[in-house]
Amino acid sequence: MKPDIMYKQPKSILNKGNGYLSGYSHSLNPYVGCTFGCSFCYVRKLPVSLFKGKEWGTWVDVKQEAEKVLTKELIREKKKGEVTIFMSSSTDPYQPVERKERVTRFLLETMVENQPDFLFVQTRSPLVRRDIDILKQFGDKVRVSMTIETDDEAVRQHFTPQAPSISSRLNALEDLKKHGIRTQAAIAPVLPSTEKFPSLLNGIADRVCIDDFYMGDGSGGKRTERLGIFDLFDDIDKKNWTVDTAYRIVENRMYEVFDNEDVLISQEGFAPY
């Protein structure tokens, strides 16, 4: 089904960092809504989704000329002090519509000209490779974090059928790494995976961040539970992966490949620098 796309003229583009992202001065969302429509996405239960009155994953609002707004706000905020930006907190900056609209690319071009002190790019899309030429210009002021919740493609298809394949994300990470861009694999939220997972990330991710529903949804797992997500674990006979200690399985496996300081848990893995 073709998504419902609307165009908006934003009055502002930078939001103050708070809550889970309190370590950042700002968050930045090129779009409202996300057509990946992941079953476990906590934004489903936020006002931005609930007030829309449409099923999450079926619509997206494009922020037109957002780069012009960002230029003004960057100049203003940098005069006040350090500017660290998390992109993005409630959408994927590289969801399918970005291929045509290029809002994220325009924003990156703007930030290259007037660079923040640090930029964290969070995505689950291999489309990020398109912007390697720009990302390289940030040097050590940028990190790209690729969400890879599992190494099992069948599990991925069960929970996130509209999201990119695991192999395409791994290939994107490898390309970013080859071009000297700092990389991270975000195993967030933790989904059932295999013992081979660490070896797939070895050499293409500088580090891994492990997060689950309980630590990462802002409500101790209650918001996620209301989504009925645990029923999806039952459907594939993986109920044991819903307990609040399941992330330890992945954590211990990662220590076999990564140094201790390169295995981060929840909020610390998404912090600036």
- The candidate with the shortest Cα–Cα distance to 212, out of 188, 239, 234, 186, is 188
- pLDDT surpasses 80 at 186: yes
pLDDT tens for residues 56-107?
Answer: 999 999 999 999 999 999 999 999 999 999 999 999 999 999 999 999 999 9
Q: Is the pLDDT of residue 164 over 90?
A: yes
Nearest to 66 by CA among 36, 29, 112: 29
CA 182 to chain centre: 15
Instruction: Report the predicted TM-score, pTM, of the whole model to 2 decimal places.
Output: 0.95
Burial class of residue 235 (count of CB atoms within 10 Å of its CB; 0-12, 13-18, 19+) = exposed
| Structure tokens that stand for 171 in this block | 């290939």
Owning domain of residue 22 = 4-270
Contact 98, 127 (CB under 8 A): yes
Q: Which two tokens stand for residue 118?
A: 């640090």
Q: Over the chain, what is the mean pLDDT?
A: 94
Question: For residue 162, is pLDDT > 80?
Answer: yes
Which residues are CB-neighbours of 96 under 8 A, at least 6 positions away? 3, 35
**In Å, what is the CA distance from 26 to each residue of 18, 72, 113, 222?**
8, 14, 18, 26
Is the pLDDT at 174 greater than 90? The verdict is yes
Beta-bridge partner residues of 28: 14
Peptide bond between residue 88 and the one before it cis (omega within 30 degrees of 0): yes
21 three-state secondary structure: helix
pLDDT for 223: 74
Q: What is the pLDDT of residue 2?
A: 87
- CATH value at residue 169: 3.80.30.30
Question: 79: Cβ–Cβ under 8 A, 6 or more apart, which residues?
Answer: none
In this prediction, residue 232 carries a pLDDT of 95
**228-270 per-position pLDDT tens digit:** 888 999 999 999 999 999 999 999 999 999 999 999 999 999 9
Tokens of 244: 């609040």
Number of domains present in the structure of the chain? 1
Share of the chain above pLDDT 70, in %: 99
Residues 6 or more apart whose CB falls under 8 angstroms from that of 260 comprise none
φ, ψ of residue 121 in degrees (nearest 5): -105, 120
Longest dimension (CA), the chain: 54
The predicted-structure confidence for 134-160, as pLDDT tens digits, reads as follows: 999 999 999 999 999 999 999 999 999
Q: Identify which has the larger pLDDT, 267 or 51.
A: 267
Cα distances (Å, whole numbers) of residue 149 to 30, 190, 248: 23, 5, 14
For residue 194, is pLDDT > 90? yes
At 46, the pLDDT band (50, 70, 90 cuts) reads confident
- Residue 241: its pLDDT value, please? 96
